[in-house]
């Protein structure tokens, strides 16, 4: 078992206090947006073994490449409107930018790697997001409630996908009389009329323990909250609005799915347990397995997957306490005693 120290990402939308509090460290005044526990070159985790190795040891040097990244995420303001490519799209985009000579660290670089980025977000607090597009009837109703009559007419005439493309391409749709809650959150931070896109999307409010799964092409933006995020080991993000980072609307529309989807939430289901612990599975099409273990006594986990990462999000169980993250290889067994919530991610 290897104890890990993650790579902190100080993006502008991050919360200044939530993640330091979770890790029980002193806030430093900067926004703490994400902490990465993985082997991706843009944010590599270290093995926390200063007693035996005074110099930092990267996790990748100990176990090789992980197929996923586990993150702790805290959003104090909305992220960009974005989507992620499939593996073929990522490979094609990466090759195209390599041929064009775009440096890997260039601000305009969209594809820093050749991999897909499916992701699951599990709420640790109340967590709000816009995720996927609603059906035409729901979109028209939301537009009428907001007084966005021109957008409602466009949906009636051309459908949700065409209306969404028009919004993303900055077509004007007149004044919105009564903005929705999600629109207000976007407009509070971004002077961008494309906030009206919120009327066409699912505004999801996750309770702690509920989740979203976003496969390739799913359009989304996280609005506010603290969460555990698990994704493929990739940093390919195609953005369309609400950010100072690079935006490429044509590429976004080439990758994004604008068709309507049903409620994208994933609710945990009990899989096993007894009086001292209960395990829940998040069942969806993700290529990785995410489980939550609520421990109130003793719990033993024996790994069968090649890679497993455990994250303690509350309480303490043995050597694993709130904010602690460990890596387990196949065949390892760990026994945890105490009261805690621990997530396991494996593949």
Instruction: Tell me, yes or no, if 239 is annotated catalytic.
Output: yes
Nearest to 67 by CA among 284, 308, 343, 324: 308
The answer to whether 82 touches 238, Cβ cutoff 8 Å, is yes
Question: Rounded to whole angstroms, what are the CA distances from 68 to 128, 245, 288, 319?
Answer: 23, 24, 8, 24
Residue carrying structure tokens 């049903």: 262
User: In what helix (H) or strand (E) does residue 58 lie, and over which residues does it extend?
Assistant: strand 57-58
- Altogether, the residues listed in the chain come to a count of 347
DSSP secondary structure of 207-243: PTT-EEEE-TTB-EEEEEEEEEEEEES----EEEESS
E strands within 233-306?
238-241, 265-266, 269-274, 277-281, 289-302
The answer to whether 231 touches 121, Cβ cutoff 8 Å, is no
- Contacts (Cβ under 8 Å, ≥6 apart) of 250: none
User: How far from chain centre, in Å, is Cα 253?
Assistant: 20
- The SS3 assignment for 255 reads helix
DSSP secondary structure of 118-181: -EEEEESS-EEEEEEEPPHHHHHHHHHHHT-HHHHHHHHHH-HHHHHHHHHTT------SS--H
Handedness of CA 30, 31, 34, 39 (dihedral sign): negative
- Which residue out of 239, 272, 283, 322 is catalytically annotated? 239
- Contacts (Cβ under 8 Å, ≥6 apart) of 165: 253, 258
Residues designated catalytic: 239
């Amino acid at each position: 078992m290897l104890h890990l120290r993650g790579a902190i990402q100080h993006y502008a939308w991050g919360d200044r206090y939530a993640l330091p509090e979770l890790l029980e460290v002193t806030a430093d005044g900067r926004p703490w947006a994400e902490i990465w526990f993985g082997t991706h070159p843009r944010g590599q985790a270290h093995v926390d073994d200063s007693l035996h190795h005074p110099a930092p040891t990267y996790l990748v040097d100990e176990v090789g490449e992980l197929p996923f990244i586990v993150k702790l995420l805290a959003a104090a303001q909305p992220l960009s409107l974005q989507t992620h490519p499939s593996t073929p799209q990522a490979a094609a985009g990466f090759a195209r930018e390599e041929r064009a000579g775009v440096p890997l660290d260039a601000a305009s670089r969209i594809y820093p790697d050749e991999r897909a980025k499916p992701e699951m977000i599990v709420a640790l607090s109340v967590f709000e997001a816009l995720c996927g597009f609603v059906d035409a009837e729901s979109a028209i109703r939301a537009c009428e409630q907001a007084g966005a009559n021109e957008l409602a007419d466009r949906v009636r005439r051309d459908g949700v996908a065409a209306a969404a493309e028009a919004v993303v391409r900055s077509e004007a749709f007149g004044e919105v009389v009564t903005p929705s809650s999600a629109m207000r959150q976007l407009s509070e931070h971004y002077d961008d009329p494309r906030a009206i896109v919120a009327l066409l999307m699912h505004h999801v409010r996750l309770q702690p323990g509920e989740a979203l799964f976003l496969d390739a092409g799913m359009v989304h933006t996280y609005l506010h909250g603290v969460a555990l995020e698990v994704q493929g080991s990739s940093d390919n993000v195609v953005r369309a609005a609400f950010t100072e980072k690079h935006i490429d609307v044509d590429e976004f529309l080439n990758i994004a799915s604008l068709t309507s989807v049903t409620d994208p939430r994933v609710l945990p289901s009990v899989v096993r347990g007894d009086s001292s612990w209960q395990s829940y599975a998040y069942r969806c099409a993700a290529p990785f397995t995410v489980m939550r273990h609520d421990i109130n006594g003793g719990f033993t986990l024996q790994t069968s997957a090649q890679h497993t990462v455990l994250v303690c999000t509350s309480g303490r169980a043995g050597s694993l306490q709130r904010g602690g993250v460990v890596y387990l290889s196949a065949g390892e067994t760990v026994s945890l005693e105490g009261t805690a919530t621990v997530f396991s991610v494996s593949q």
